[in-house]
Chain A
């Protein structure tokens, strides 16, 4: 499946004897590349179709979106639904709550990095057992822990609070694993030198380990942001009060209450999705490369 760069080069040598087969070969390779690109383009457009339709529909008027036959592009572009979201609906509150969760999850990320550092660079009593225990939590499905965690938070009086929403998902085993994988590559000599200079372990973590972990921090930071921005299940379970709803819970509520108002729903969805798409476009290289750090390569 991989284009034969070298064989082409070999053929170039042969060109002196018979230029024709080489030309054929080259043209064939070009043609098949073009064909694959064409197939991917058609499939790619199909994949993007829901996003296009979402954005286009959010600018249509209520009358237009419920008129048949369907129009592709909006006849009268309107921003009324976006204004509606913030003026008549509580999207500003949802946005504030979502950003609070994002902030808290970055604190969680710091805790995860600290644990990753300890597992990568310190041999302490029980470190192996603890690390295996941490990894084992990845196998526990969310649906099993969902009800007990809810009851526990209820016992602690944390239902319907921001703390209750944030706490269950603050740290994750996969994050610890990724940080550990990356931080093992930091040269031991640097840490030793700092220790000889009398720096404390926490000082070393903040002024040497963290700055050297920028690539993995970038990946994890973006993924954490996306995860927190999208957080749905815990806010849904824990928050009874609309004042604590996040964007996704608010959007689900909107779908329930304004079932027929599709343009408004599309505006809400666009407001949730577009920032993520923009962030992803900017940082896609880091995210996609990040999977190579995880050792799949």
Chain B
């Protein structure tokens, strides 16, 4: 018996993990795909006989749904504004920290990383208070320096920017750490050689640092893009998609349709669209990266 178990040890060691991933990750993907062609709802849960195959109806409906189109456009705004800011800011902070030699600079890593590990609900509650039009700190600070109030979460467009601000604050830390690790991998001799040749700090930055960070920048871009296409928790907790659906993201649309309205089939169709979007964007990224490597 013992020998029998030992011979199969590798399989037994991976079995729990593989089975759990199969069950809660791979199988649901296929179920979601299948469900998106049905009218699955609460009646369908109660009795499977109520589920009907309706072909592409969900997909046709969803692209006629104003809320979905709005959610799609909102997500585009989140990605187009948020992703470049995250990458630029985390790269700038990483390079600044790497520039320093003192012990202080090690503490900056902790400071900028901290928002990444704190609970999203707690953080959203705190920022909701900061954004409060009457009693919030942000408007108080603006008034103190003589600026007027900003309708942080009340105006449809400003609300999107406010959520982006919060999300950028949370996202900078982890990417900064990745950039720092990559920066520390660049041999100092490159800079010494460049300095001896009389290259300025800025020349060194654009001719050595940025090109050598290409892989890290690529990695961060791909993961950040994927993450921001799934923008979810910030609008869920802070605005519930309001005002007037102006902050509803694709992911929040799926959540609302699935868990608030119980239109499971319809929500599944939305999630398949989201998945296709993510795969397309990622493939484009890889294609671009490849063509860049050619020369």
Instruction: Using CB atoms and an 8 Å cutoff, list the residues of chain A in contact with chain B.
Output: 1-7, 10, 32-33, 36-37, 39-40, 43-44, 47-51, 53-54, 57, 65-66, 68-70, 111-112, 114-115, 117-119, 122, 124, 127, 130, 133-134, 136-137, 139-152, 154, 167-171, 173, 176, 200-202, 205, 226, 229-230, 232-233, 237, 247-249, 251-252, 255, 262, 265-266, 268-269, 272-273, 276-277, 280-281, 284, 288, 291-292, 296-297
User: A70 contacts which chain B residues (CB < 8 A)?
Assistant: 135, 137, 140
User: B14 contacts which chain A residues (CB < 8 A)?
Assistant: 114-115, 118-119, 130
Partner of B169, one of A10, A47, A247: A47
Are B108 and A40 neighbours in the complex by a CB distance under 8 Å? yes
Are A1 and B127 neighbours in the complex by a CB distance under 8 Å? no
Partner of B100, one of A33, A43, A248: A33
In whole angstroms, what is the CA distance A115 to B134 when docked? 53
User: B95 contacts which chain A residues (CB < 8 A)?
Assistant: 1
Q: Is the interface of B mostly helix, strand, loop or mixed?
A: helix
Instruction: Using CB atoms and an 8 Å cutoff, list the residues of chain B in contact with chain A.
Output: 2, 5-6, 9-11, 13-14, 16-18, 20-21, 23-29, 31-32, 35, 40, 45, 93, 95-102, 104-105, 108-115, 117-123, 125-130, 132, 134-135, 137, 140, 169, 172, 177-178, 181-182, 184-186, 188, 191-192, 195-196, 201, 204-205, 209, 216, 219, 226, 230, 232-233, 237, 250-251, 254-255, 258-259, 264, 267-268, 271-272, 274-275, 278-279, 282
Are B135 and A65 neighbours in the complex by a CB distance under 8 Å? yes
Are B114 and A277 neighbours in the complex by a CB distance under 8 Å? yes
Chain A: minimal CB distance from B163 (Å): 14
Partner of B125, one of A202, A268, A277: A268
Are B9 and A145 neighbours in the complex by a CB distance under 8 Å? no
User: B40 contacts which chain A residues (CB < 8 A)?
Assistant: 151
Chain B: minimal CB distance from A178 (Å): 13
In whole angstroms, what is the CA distance A108 to B184 when docked? 33
Residue of A with least CB distance to B270: A143
In whole angstroms, what is the CA distance A107 to B100 when docked? 41
Are A232 and B233 neighbours in the complex by a CB distance under 8 Å? yes
Are A51 and B98 neighbours in the complex by a CB distance under 8 Å? no
Are B188 and A5 neighbours in the complex by a CB distance under 8 Å? yes
B21, B230, B264: most-surrounded residue (chain A CB, <10 A)? B21
> Apart from A3-B101, A230-B120, A272-B122, what 8 extra A-B contacts exist at CB < 8 Å?
A4-B191, A10-B196, A111-B20, A137-B25, A140-B29, A262-B132, A262-B135, A276-B117
In whole angstroms, what is the CA distance A143 to B236 when docked? 13
Are B119 and A272 neighbours in the complex by a CB distance under 8 Å? yes
Do A147 and B268 form a contact, CB below 8 Å, given A33-B100, A37-B104?
Answer: yes
Are A143 and B255 neighbours in the complex by a CB distance under 8 Å? yes
B119, B186, B204, B264: most-surrounded residue (chain A CB, <10 A)? B119
In whole angstroms, what is the CA distance A262 to B117 when docked? 23
Do A297 and B181 form a contact, CB below 8 Å, given A3-B101, A69-B140, A130-B14?
Answer: yes
User: B205 contacts which chain A residues (CB < 8 A)?
Assistant: 1
User: B169 contacts which chain A residues (CB < 8 A)?
Assistant: 47, 50
Do A168 and B101 form a contact, CB below 8 Å, given A47-B169, A237-B259, A265-B129?
Answer: no
